[in-house]
Amino acid sequence: MFCSKAQEHGVAIGRYVIMPDHVHLFAAFPIAGIGLPSWIQSLRTVVGKRLLRLEIPKPHWQEGFFDHLLRSHESYAQKWDYVRLNPVRAKLCQTPEAWPYQGEIAAIRLH
């Protein structure tokens, strides 16, 4: 829900993979408007509150986050291929398609 509503702030969340201990999000942010650090903090707040309601104790997040700037369609495709194989490399499934915690919220077009 949070990622779907991001579009109201000019943020597009493209493909994602949710792993047991981390998440990969492909996102596009507007030149003017909310930035990645602020958006990540909001995401952590919203998800953290939900986890507490589910009685999942803290800590939910490690300090900081890793980001990588994609500059071309080729780079997006290469990074997606790497990310979608994470569950296979972690021996959580046999094929990337078998991992149920992945998808795409909005198509991100790189120019």
pLDDT tens digits along 55-90: 989 888 888 888 888 877 778 888 999 999 999 999
Q: How many CB atoms lie within 10 A of CB 26?
A: 20
The predicted structure's pLDDT at residue 4: 67
- Number of domains present in the structure of the chain: 1
Global pTM reads 0.81
The predicted structure's pLDDT at residue 108: 85
Does 109 reside within a domain? Answer: no
Does 93 reside within a domain? Answer: yes
Inform me whether the pLDDT recorded for 1 exceeds 70. Answer: no
For residue 85, the enclosing domain spans: 2-104
Does 111 reside within a domain? Answer: no
Inform me whether the pLDDT recorded for 24 exceeds 70. Answer: yes
Radius of gyration of the chain (CA): 15
Q: Identify the CATH number of the domain in which residue 30 sits.
A: 3.30.70.1290
Contact call for residues 17 and 87 (beta carbons, < 8 A)? yes
Does 98 reside within a domain? Answer: yes
